[in-house]
Amino acid sequence: MNNEHYFTPQPTSESASREITARLRGEEYRFVTEAGVFSRSRIDPGTRLLANSLPLPEQGKMLDLGCGYGPVGIAAAKEQPKLEVVMVDVNQRAAELAKLNARLNGVTNVDVRSGEDFQVAPEQDFVIIATNPPIRAGKRVIYPLLTRAKEHLVPGGILYVVIRTRQGAASMEKHLETTYSRVETIARGSGYRVFAAYN
């Protein structure tokens, strides 16, 4: 299996694009996807759970960390037009698709950036950060990233993370508890859990 979408800045696979549709937060969306990006044939069930369960503030800044072709950030931005949604992905192809998909769905309150996590999103005033993390990159990559996220949240800000229950949810919860003041599970389904970790 080609896993280059997990952490490859410039995928080398051929970029045959296709369009998928999805209902998220009660709205229909169209997403153009390509080879070399995460879950290109359908919205990943973890992504769907995260996108649908996020409590959204009406305004302020949100970060979609590892946005892929954009489902989480675009659905949030569409529902809350005053929210400023920063979307970042290290995979340039994914970031380009996220920009395209924002336009395709009539969403303008997004700022899509191509590059590594907090290097391209250095702000420290995100009200929420949402992520379906690149789990195959391994704990040694993901855990420090989730720890660093805290420095980029406003006081009382919340990090939302989706993880497959059997892919280390229990140990991720313990890890989050070492950094954040409180951690709770806000949604479960299709074998996934969404954690909320409070700054």
Ligand X SMILES: C[S@@+](CC[C@H](N)C(=O)[O-])C[C@H]1O[C@@H](n2cnc3c(N)ncnc32)[C@H](O)[C@@H]1O
Residue 149 makes contact with ligand X by CB under 6 A:
no
Binding-site residue total for ligand X (CB under 6 A)? 21
CB neighbour class for 1 (10 Å; exposed up to 12, middle 13-18, buried from 19): exposed
Residue 66 found at the interface with ligand X (CB under 6 A) = yes
Closest distance of CB 89 from ligand X, Å: 4
Distance in angstroms (rounded) separating the CA atoms of residues 43 and 23: 10
* Residue among 7, 102, 121 nearest 61 (CA): 121
Contact window for ligand X (CB under 6 A) among 75-83, 88-96, 150-158, 164-172: 88-96
Taking CA atoms, 30 is separated from 5, 10, 46, 63, in Å, by 20, 24, 18, 21
Q: Which stretch in 17-25, 64-72, 164-172, 183-191 sits in contact with ligand X by CB under 6 A?
A: 64-72
Could you say which residues in the range 100-129 bind ligand X, by CB under 6 A?
Answer: 116-117
The Cα 110–Cα 74 span in angstroms is: 7
Number of other residues whose CB lies within 10 A of the CB of residue 140? 7
Which span (1-9, 101-109, 150-158, 180-188) binds ligand X, by CB under 6 A? Answer: 1-9
Does the footprint of ligand X cover residue 6 (CB under 6 A)?
yes
Q: Of 75, 94, 161, 163, which lies in the binding site for ligand X, with binding defined by CB under 6 A?
A: 94
Q: Which of 33, 39, 53, 101 binds ligand X (CB under 6 A)?
A: 39
Please name the amino acid found at residue 119: Q
Question: Environment class of residue 7 by beta-carbon count within 10 Å: exposed (0-12), middle (13-18) or buried (19+)?
Answer: middle
Told to check if 49 binds ligand X by CB under 6 A, we report no
Binding residues (CB under 6 A) for ligand X: these are 5-7, 38-39, 44, 47, 66-68, 71-72, 88-91, 94, 116-117, 132, 134
